[in-house]
Structure 1
């Protein structure tokens, strides 16, 4: 891998990072499940796309009760995906193509099949093994009621976050019962995770994405949420910052990078995680969930940049991921924002409109200062898929009582070859999630030679992205419903979200557009353009 010049900005400040959901990326052995062999075979595709790094959602040994976010062994690859030796080869082969690797760590909880929890369950009340988790006696007659009133982190779920064992004690799990929460006040928990970080950094990974980064620390009293005074008993507690300062010391020894999943409405509290001795970056969820509205998008951009400015951290821009409705579907609906609480079956969608807006949003996000995350299939313009009820696997669906469609619709295996079995995902067995009818129309091989395809747009945009990258942004005068800004290089981005064509600012060159200009050289509705001033 080419080394950066000593005076060059760190790679992660302006990187394009591609999220790989291994189970659905590519099936190398033909068993219907994506695997590391499939990813290795597609590395040339990712290199041609032009991405700087790959972020892998958890690939560890797991019962897959929550898509791999229930980890049983952090030092081994799940056999469904491959082996540790194959992961090491993947990291090295990607590096040879100039692509770095980011792994996913889930510190809030482990699988109930993790050796620690299996030992805790067997050891009994008051044991040192149970001190690694949050075990408590119940309330009410005979301890039959949960220890407190905390709600599930799965939006819409009414299930308790406590499960009672036959010996009478209850254990805490903010997510599913198969994901017991760790006790981060215990030194062994901290030591174990620092050792896990070192394990992966020593295998060549460039960074770590931290799942549910604001949930680890709990009030030791575990008080009821309804009666708990500030601070919150388990969200964004001050103790977290000491944990991440310790992690940062580990990362710095390997020149490693962190990106945190931090959902917080308070800008000042959010920025604390990005202080120079804590996390390098954190996901920007306000932009992801923002509706397709010029004023609200500008506010989101301004707020994001203002949040990051005091600590000198780069922003991150994300349009979708493995948890949220795919962009072309979301932008084709009456409500173009995203909220877990409003997901529902049968929402009317105009995919042509959504695709047009998604193309414009791609140019908008890739022109903003900071790093950009792409979710696999985003570059193919994949829509959200309707999964037959008897094939849905996401626990969000079951835990909502069947009202939430779950997240499987954005996790359908990718289409690679239009004329191949299962659209080229794997040649033998049916994929673990069914591909919708017509999925082959989105296949990468069909789009690769189409100058008007979504894949071609992303390839061209990523190749031109050095015109933008990190650095300041200056808004330009524009009419209502139009976003226009300049970057220090002289590159301009204009996005028309109004219902009438918009005039372009003065420029010397048209670099790229999401859809052609009209006959008068103006920017049509729901279209973006890159210019050189």
Structure 2
């Protein structure tokens, strides 16, 4: 039989399987020095808040040196901290404080591209054609009589050409912005340097990594490249597409897994991989690879019972096949906050990328049912927190924040706004506005000065300090739900209950824990059991519309 120490070690190694993970966008979380930009000392100052919230881990979006061409995802140096938000000593202090509070630390790693200020890219530009330094990236000659045209007509994800020309006439590949040159992952030095980065942060006490666009690293760029139209016709489900989700990428992650397993407990990783099928996503969640991959399925669903049940069943079936665990997420730094999504007309196949809902629904105002959106968001989140698997929460959703749509063009920062990316509408700044901690102050308690993105006046009513004192606030709902979740967690399974109503979903978890969600517009009768928590006030045994309740049999 295993010893108590062996059992404890095994449990610690599996901490991520049913963890509640809170994403921090550092520049917008808390500003300790009053310069308008959130920093690591600001995170440290809010550790008591995070502990009281009841999360198991924080995931920090990039805090590395960066020109902020893409919100920090243009990385100058993978093994340092941006001076505007702190130092390595600040990072160590923050990590120690989080660990002392029982909170794990996950950091973002950005392996598809660097920034154009990275030492190796500067070396490549200076070294010229045919140099070894350029082989770490994807440099090509242009088309046209003088090479004045890019190698292909491909469009970058944030709009504009997917190739950028340097002074000597060659072009380099940039999937996102010109400031983000793509790495060449066929190059052994690139692979080795990222292994060094993984060890660097793991040695500093990091418990895991969130891997940005994990499906894009490996590319097949033959002499004759397909056109944009030809590219659009290529199969994305076979692992052979030239630019994404190639089977060879998993060789990289098997190397990473060997590094993760050098530590006790092994380091954890979750892939951001927007791929075409659950089967393709499962490859990233392999125990021999990263171990977990985000499911964005609920994030792209309407608030509708049939969609939710189908997605939950498909995801649980998939994790049973892989041995991984489900990931549930409604909001993050790239998409419209779900309190707002649920207050707008149904997606009906439209994208959830930032701002598109505002544009197609006629902008903010009458199109947005602010109260209804928050009501549905609270119900959806309480359902999600009852599911087996890990829950990923985004800063501010515990306050019930809506998207901030009315940001002047001169104050916006997201490249997708400026580069005319059709799929991004107004850009992603609306979910990255600094948090309101108090109802007063120049930045609602974010810092002693202003905020790097303008905060709306309505933030005052959502401030954390105000909600702490209000029994029915969204903040207190999250705190109660996360505390109960720890008490009630059991085996990673659920059993659906027949409700006799296609607008009501109910399931039990081990130990007699029952979750019931009324997606309909009319109240329904609650089943028998002790009422533990509800997303809206419950009177008697009646469950209101758009409400989730937890009961114990």
Structure 1-normalised TM-score? 0.95
Question: Is residue 503 of structure 1 aligned with residue 516 of structure 2?
Answer: no
1:378 maps to 397
Distance 1:344 1:404 in 2: 8
Quote how far apart the aligned CAs of 1:226 are: 3.8
Question: Is residue 312 of structure 1 aligned with residue 343 of structure 2?
Answer: no
Is the CA contact 1:21–1:376 (under 8 Å) kept in the aligned structure 2? yes
1:279 maps to 290
Question: Is residue 192 of structure 1 aligned with residue 193 of structure 2?
Answer: yes
Quote how far apart the aligned CAs of 1:22 are: 0.5
Question: Is residue 340 of structure 1 aligned with residue 340 of structure 2?
Answer: no
> Could you list the per-position Cα deviations for residues 142-188 of structure 1 after superposition, in whole angstroms to 9, with x for gaps in the alignment?
2222212333223xx3x110011121111000000000000000000
Is the CA contact 1:270–1:307 (under 8 Å) kept in the aligned structure 2? no
Q: In structure 2, list runs of 5 or more residues that go unmatched.
A: none
2:456 to 416, 436, 447: 436
Deviates more, 1:225-234 or 1:255-264: 225-234
1:55-204 to 2 correspondence within 5 Å? 55-154=59-158, 157=159, 159-204=160-205
Distance 2:289 2:504 in 1: 37
Distance 1:95 1:125 in 2: 48
Go from structure 1 to structure 2 and tell me whether the alpha carbon gap of 1:497 and 1:170 turns closer, same or farther (over 3 Å shift). Answer: same
- What SS does the corresponding residue of 2:314 show, helix, strand or coil? helix
Question: Is residue 391 of structure 1 aligned with residue 411 of structure 2?
Answer: yes
Quote how far apart the aligned CAs of 1:420 are: 3.2
Go from structure 1 to structure 2 and tell me whether the alpha carbon gap of 1:152 and 1:4 turns closer, same or farther (over 3 Å shift). Answer: farther
1:365 maps to 384
Quote how far apart the aligned CAs of 1:470 are: 5.2
Go from structure 1 to structure 2 and tell me whether the alpha carbon gap of 1:373 and 1:3 turns closer, same or farther (over 3 Å shift). Answer: farther
2:19 to 15, 18, 32: 15
2:342 maps to 331
Deviates more, 1:333-342 or 1:267-276: 333-342
Quote how far apart the aligned CAs of 1:344 are: 4.1
Is the CA contact 1:109–1:179 (under 8 Å) kept in the aligned structure 2? yes
1:239 maps to 248
Is the CA contact 2:271–2:285 (under 8 Å) kept in the aligned structure 1? no
- What SS does the corresponding residue of 1:285 show, helix, strand or coil? coil
Quote how far apart the aligned CAs of 1:84 are: 0.6
Is the CA contact 1:14–1:470 (under 8 Å) kept in the aligned structure 2? no
- What SS does the corresponding residue of 2:543 show, helix, strand or coil? coil
Quote how far apart the aligned CAs of 1:282 are: 1.0
Distance 1:189 1:136 in 2: 18
Structure 2-normalised TM-score? 0.92
Go from structure 1 to structure 2 and tell me whether the alpha carbon gap of 1:470 and 1:314 turns closer, same or farther (over 3 Å shift). Answer: farther
1:321 maps to 332
Quote how far apart the aligned CAs of 1:6 are: 4.0
Distance 1:331 1:469 in 2: 30
Quote how far apart the aligned CAs of 1:7 are: 5.4
2:471 maps to 451
2:443 maps to 422
Q: In structure 1, list runs of 5 or more residues that go unmatched.
A: none
Across the aligned residues of Structure 1 and Structure 2, the Cα RMSD in angstroms comes to: 1.8
2:268 maps to 257
- What SS does the corresponding residue of 1:141 show, helix, strand or coil? coil
Quote how far apart the aligned CAs of 1:295 are: 0.4
